[in-house]
Amino acid sequence: MSHTINHLRKLRLQRSELAVPGSNPEMIEKAANSEADYIFLDIEDAVAPPDKERARANIVQALNQIDWRGRGKTISVRINGLDTHYMYRDVVDLMEQAGDRIDTLLVPKVGVPADLYMVEAMVNQIEIARGFKTRVGLEALIETALGMANVEAIAAFGGRLEAMHFGVADYAASLKARTVNIGGLNPDYPGDQWHFGLSRMTVACRAYGLRAIDGPFGDFSDPDGYKDAARRAAALGIEGKWAIHLSQIALANDIFSPPEKEVDRARRIIDALKVAESQGKGAASLDGKMIDAASERMARNVLATHDAITAGR
C-alpha cells in the first residue's frame, strides 16, 4: 500500500436515495414515511423556474417540521447550479433557517473544485454566524463533460465533500450521446455506454475517501431495467442508487445489501485468516479457494455495509 491513504471521510447508509421535488409537499410527506435510506429534496431540475421560491420555502418548512433523523433518514437538499441566480438564495435560506436540520447539500453540475469552494465558503460562514453545532456535508453531482474531465481534482477537494453522484441524464446531454431513456442502454452500443463514466468516478471516490452513488433510472415502469443497472453499478463498487419513484426504493435496498450468504462467507474469511496467521501463514484456503490479505479487505467491506444496515434498522 502507498504511504498515502485517504480513509472514508463519512460513513452513511446510502443504498437508496429518493429524489423528491420541493414543489410537492405531499410527496415530501410520503418520502419521510418511505423505506429510503437517504432523501434529497430538490430545488433544481425537478422544479420549474416559477416554482423555485415556493419549493425552497416548502423545503425549509419540511426540514423544520419533520423529524427526519428520528425516522432514520439522512436528509439532503439539491440546490440550484452555480450558473443560476437561484443558488445563493438556496444556500442562504436553507442554512439560515434550517442549517442544523440538514445532513448534506447536493451541488449539481460540479465542473471544477472551485464550484465546491464557493458553496463551502457560504456554508462555513452561516454555520459560524448561527452557532450551529452540526456540520453540513457536501456532495458533488458529476453530470457534465467538464465535471468528468476534472473528476479526480474534484474528489481531492477535501473540506466538507463526502460523496459524488453520477448524473446520467445531463451527462448524456453534455456528451451529445444518443440515448433512449434516462440511465437506460442504447441498443446500438455493445455493452453499457455509462460504464466508463461510472467507473472513473468510482475510482476517484475510492482514492479520496468518498462514497460513490449512481443516479437515476428514468423508466420506473421497468423494474428489471432498474435492477440490471443497479447490479452493474454495484459490480463497479458503487454503494447506492437514486430512486425517482417509491417503487424503486426496495429494489435499490435489496441490490446494495450484501446477501446473508455473502456476509457469512466474509466472516469465515476473517476467521480462516486469523487461524492462518496464528500458524505463521499469510494465506489460507477456504471452500477450495485461496484467500489472503486482499480477501480480508474485501470481506471487511461487506461486513461494514452489513453493520451499517443493521445499525439503521
Q: What is the pLDDT of residues 36-80, one digit of tens each?
A: 999 999 999 999 999 999 999 999 999 999 999 999 999 999 999
Question: 178 labelled as ligand-binding?
Answer: no
pLDDT at position 313 is 57
- Using one digit for the tens of pLDDT, what is the confidence trace for 190-242? 999 999 999 999 999 999 999 999 999 999 999 999 999 999 999 999 999 99
Residue bearing cell 445532513: 103
Half-sphere exposure of 215 (CA within 13 A, CB side): 27
pLDDT at 94 over 70: yes
Give yes or no for a contact between 78 and 41, defined as CB atoms under 8 angstroms apart: yes
Question: 300 labelled as ligand-binding?
Answer: no
pLDDT at 251 over 80: yes
Give yes or no for a contact between 77 and 47, defined as CB atoms under 8 angstroms apart: no
DSSP H or E run through 285: strand 284-286
Going along the chain from its start, the domains and CATH numbers come out as 16-257 (3.20.20.60), 261-312 (no CATH)
Nearest to 234, CA basis, from 6, 20, 36, 14: 14
Nearest to 161, CA basis, from 6, 1, 5, 2: 6
pLDDT at position 176 is 95
Q: Is 191 left (phi over 0), alpha (psi -120 to 50) or beta?
A: left
pLDDT at 308 over 90: no
For β-strands 289-291 and 284-286, DSSP reports them as: antiparallel
pLDDT at position 170 is 96
Three-point CA angle 280, 281, 285, nearest 5°:
145
Say which residue, 263 or 155, is predicted with more confidence. Answer: 155
Question: 115 labelled as ligand-binding?
Answer: no
* pTM for the full predicted model: 0.93
pLDDT at 293 over 80: yes
